[in-house]
Structure 1
């Protein structure tokens, strides 16, 4: 029964999938073999204004309050409080 047309088709599909995975792994290994800047994970295709010329010190200044702001937002959500509204300077 292993030589049935359906079994042959399934075997062929499995072989194609293995070959596709091997090709993808080869691409991954090729990329990883070169050192250099990497895009932010999850934003590889997105536009960013952050450049390689900006160093860790600048990033630390820009994102200094991120953890605290995130924690405060989480606490507000846990208490089901509304988000504070930003004050507009246009008034």
Structure 2
């Protein structure tokens, strides 16, 4: 009898989970049906002075040498040379030491 009650409870929980998933899918489909800018979740009503140009400027600074570093790493790998340690915490393989 206890097994049957447990099974009923599990069935009820599964059904509730399926219902929740269906509701979330409906919400997703409604949102996807409308094209346009999407505000960050939680900041929908917030106003900001941040611009896309600021993102571009920050990315240019942070990732300025990425292409060259990637190319050099590929060349080293093609020649089977060990990576140069980037800091004192890394060994010759480029992995961090503990």
TM-score (norm 2): 0.47
TM-score by length of 1: 0.49
